[in-house]
Amino acid sequence: MSVTATQASPIGDYESARDSLASLLTRWKGECIFRIGARPPVSTLFSGEPVDNASGWTGTSLGEDHIGKAILGVEKVVVDIGAMMSVLFRAGGSHPRAVLLLRLPPVDIASTPEVRCAVVGNVDSGKSTTLGVLTRGTLDDGRGRARVALFRHKHELETGRTSSVGMEILGFTASGVPVLPGRADGHDPDTARLDKLGWQDIAARSAKIISFSDLAGHERYLKTTLYGLTSGAPSCVILMVGGNAGLIGMSKEHLAITLALNVPVIVCITKIDMTPPNVLSETLKQVTKILKSPGCRKMPVFVNSTEIVTELVGVFAQNKICPIFRLSNVTGEGLDYLRTFLNLLQPSEYDCETFAVDHPLEYSITEVWSVPYVGTVVNGILNSGRVKTGDAILFGPDANGHFQSTVIRSMQRKRADVFSAEAGQCVSLALKRVKRVSVRKGMVIVHKLDGPPAATRRFEGQVLILYHNTTMQPNYQAMLHCGAVRQTVRIVSLDHPQGVLRTGDRATVTFEFISRPEYIKVGMKLLFREGKTKGLGVITQLLG
């Protein structure tokens, strides 16, 4: 977990310092941000004003010599306990200070922390190009060369538009260096080849993995984008905005959905190299205005230094702050700040409130494949509990609400074999003697000893209608997204004085799944849509 540890004086007693740092890294699961010297006022830093002469500094001011000695002392101690140290930021002037990253290398791939990020935005906003540049390490040529390797289908190559949920990963070593093609084999990173390292290679060299879901930007594929946002349990959403076009079209739609799901947002303004200054200025004003509006209530912070990155990364999610990065995939401007930010993000599985290791096993299936010589393989997220190879499990519900039993033949994480996994991790499971047609997206896996959970066909939810052009009445049907579940539902009844629902109305609504029962729980967020109609809410009661 990335946290802040304040160190007001240089390292003194070696044994005491070693015990303190070892305890700190153990407590925060192998990663922390370590500060030496005075700390600037956050409000001044985020506003973009000069901080040297600002008031409100905290901590003890140290001389530059003391800062240097403290860094050397920390490095010696960190190496002694088997960890790695990297200097994120160091400044002199009237307030010398330094920010260090301390990180323990993971024992194996199964324990490597992962951060899940969903990438959204309008068509031609630069989503796939930015991911291509981030994960390959080579800059774009201005004609989309960086994004070609990310496309999965022939029609995507022909149209240049993403239509599926593409997955890319970016690894960081224990010292914070990105794992990129060309870095390990001696090639010049600026001329590294377009092909990518295998996921196994990246996972083997990384102390932290960033997983990107490249979601479709076209309105035609909104259903796919919604499924990626609800089923992937992302730690944050990266909203791409083209500097030459502004926040238009589906970008506003994606932002509204992200806010409805209460997921932290990061904004990246792309194409700043080709956008005229006056147009870019208007785009920045528009983005700032929308983020500050009553519907968003976010505080925009423009990232133009590594120090801002180190201060932002631990507080932006809780304090409704939205970091804004200005990027050029052709010149590389701003990309280092974004990489540093991603490197410091808190891993998804460390969210103990969402993912409880001490609870019974619950695994949501988000993808299903039939692999030659292996059989049926499912991919998904462990919502709670633990699982290991050889466990007897139940999967379901099927069309009748029943669960079937099987055994986990093998497991993989980032295409590397593992033997166990814990809550919050995304893993693939090979199921023994199970036909591909027996498994579908939205099913769950539980331990056989825990018994099959109840499948639900009818449930009650407290909903808010975001938009509907007329009135919504009983028997109205819409597509429901709830976690990994995606199915058409029918409104059975609604509790509203007028007997109908319009835009902006809140009500308690009873829903019924059309095709088959699903496994859902009280408290889960739901999002339903049909055409331009959109509503959101939370499940309050299961009716059987």
**In the listed set 47, 70, 103, which residue is the last one of a domain according to the structure?**
103
Give residue 143's pLDDT: 62
Among 120-134, 214-228, 384-398, the least confident range: 214-228
Q: Do 117 and 179 fall within a single domain? A: yes
Q: Identify the pLDDT of residue 144.
A: 61
Q: Could you tell me if 487 and 515 are in contact, meaning their C-beta atoms sit under 8 angstroms apart?
A: yes
168 in the same domain as 115: yes
pLDDT for res 354: 85
Please, are residues 32 and 347 in contact by the beta-carbon 8 Å criterion? no
Residues 418, 398, single domain; the answer is yes
> What confidence category does residue 61 fall into, taking pLDDT thresholds of 50, 70 and 90?
confident
What's 48-65 look like in SS3? CCCCCCCCCCECCCCCHH
**CATH at 236:** 3.40.50.300
| Domain match, 256 and 373 both | no
Structure tokens at 118: 């969903």
Token pair for residue 74?
């920390």
Distance of CA 216 to the CA centre of its chain: 16
Q: What is the pTM of this model?
A: 0.89
Quote the pLDDT of residue 188: 44
Beta bridge partners of 89: 99
The boundaries of the domain holding residue 528 are: 458-542
| pLDDT value, residue 147 | 62
324-354 pLDDT, tens digit each: 999 999 999 999 999 999 999 998 888 888 8
Identify the pLDDT of residue 8. Answer: 36
Mark whether 241 and 311 lie in a shared domain: yes
Residue 396 has pLDDT above 80, yes or no: yes
Residues 524 and 385 in one domain: no
**Structural domain includes residue 226:** yes
Residue 405: how many CB atoms within 10 A of its CB?
Answer: 12
User: How many structural domains does the chain have?
Assistant: 4
279: left (phi over 0), alpha (psi -120 to 50) or beta: alpha
Higher pLDDT, 21 or 192: 21
Give CA angle at 139 (133, 144), nearest 5°.
Answer: 75
- How do beta strands 299-302 and 321-326 pair? parallel
Task: Check residue 308 and give its pLDDT.
Answer: 92
Q: Is the pLDDT of residue 161 over 60?
A: no
Residue 399, domain member (yes or no): yes
Q: Is 355 contained in some domain?
A: no
Pick the last residue of a domain from 57, 82, 103: 103
Provide, rounded to the nearest whole percent, the portion of the chain with pLDDT above 90.
52
Q: Quote the pLDDT of residue 214.
A: 83
Residues 6+ apart with CB under 8 A from 449: 392
